[in-house]
Amino acid sequence: MSPARERTTPVVLPVGGGKGGIGKSALAANLALALARLECRVVLVDAALGGSDLHNLLGLENDLPGLGEVLTQKGLTIDQVVHPVLEPRFCFVPGDAMMVATANPGFQKKRKLLHDVARLPAGFVLLDLGPGSAITVLDFFLVSPLSLVVMLPERPAVRSAFNFLKNAVFRALERRFRLNSKTQAVLDEFRQRSRGPGALKMAELARAMDQALPGQGQEVRALLASWRPKLVLNRVRQVDEFVYASQLERWARQDLGLSLEVAGFVPEDDLVHQAALEGRPALDLDPRSPFCRAVALLAREFSRWAGRPQVWAARDDAPGSFERAATLFAPLFPPPGTALPTRKELIRRLRELESQIKD
């Protein structure tokens, strides 16, 4: 691929997390806007089929054609429903709020839509996904080797996010091996005993695939190695809660064989609720608020990869990412009335806490 072609290829970032009510849409909307204000060309897509309402967070009326029309009208493509909004470099593709019966599009329509998404003329395309682990949600989440997992700082949320990643892994494997009955039988067997962390190891599954059909275990390992998901811990109240990100990173690595990069920590902030009530992006209310400062940090870290998805996906930034992100975002969570800890003190404290929550 020539350098000129690479510069016009968007980084597609599906934003998922399984559960609803985790602040995923507010994060996606404000991150997209922050990237646009860093002079990246951004397309934000409301991909929550069957429940799209992202326009509300952007202060827009529900009167623009979007994915609903693309999925139901013959000949209409996604590039025809990309609408410039708010900023010169910011565009929005509405969801299906004006349409019905689009939550589960047919395979061919879905494949063409995802094919066209990856060819939009932008530095970034963010897909705000719906809740749950339905097939369509997982297929949208797997459209790119780069994806964003949003999680709350709670023990049940770690298990929920882990199960979401596990379901995505099995969906990817099913698509890869669906035409072979021997490998499909192995997947069915392992799926039956996958009940949370520790119930299965992808290394064991890869060995079983090799026994069923020599060489297929390497296919499993290659698929997992090509995926570079990022984790954002949202609605964090204090630094001690950072450890939940480390726990998910460890489970993903040990059980699923995934290199999950901890990208950052976003504070709990009443401004997000106020912005939703006013129908405006939080960045437009108070860019100095803790939430907005965290979003700006994420955007700054991501912006250097605009238009370079292959280069970003080729990097394994997971090793040491928890320590790097904790150090970078800790100043947004200073203990009241005390000085910020040194990096060494911060990491030691977090590792002590992590040892207390290990299974």
Domain ranges of the chain: 3-153+230-357
CA–CA gap between residue 239 and residue 343 (Å, rounded): 12
Q: Which residues of the chain have pLDDT under 50?
A: 1-7, 101
DSSP state of 323: H
Render the burial of 149-162: b for 16+ CB within 10 Å, e for the rest.
bbbbbeeebbbbbb
By the 8 A CB rule, do 161 and 49 touch? no
Q: What is the pLDDT of residue 103?
A: 60
Reported as a single tens digit per residue, the pLDDT across 333-343 is: 877 656 667 78
Average pLDDT, the chain: 89
CA–CA gap between residue 199 and residue 255 (Å, rounded): 8
Q: What is the pLDDT of residue 5?
A: 40
Q: What is the pLDDT of residue 3?
A: 42
CA–CA gap between residue 46 and residue 67 (Å, rounded): 8
Model pTM score: 0.91
By the 8 A CB rule, do 129 and 16 touch? yes
Q: What is the pLDDT of residue 4?
A: 40
In whole angstroms, how far apart are CA 328 and each of 33, 102, 204, 291?
A: 21, 41, 36, 14
Q: Which residue bears the tokens 């401004």?
A: 271
CATH 3.40.605.10 fits domain 3-153+230-357: no
Q: What is the pLDDT of residue 327?
A: 92
Q: What is the pLDDT of residue 102?
A: 60
Q: What is the pLDDT of residue 1?
A: 35
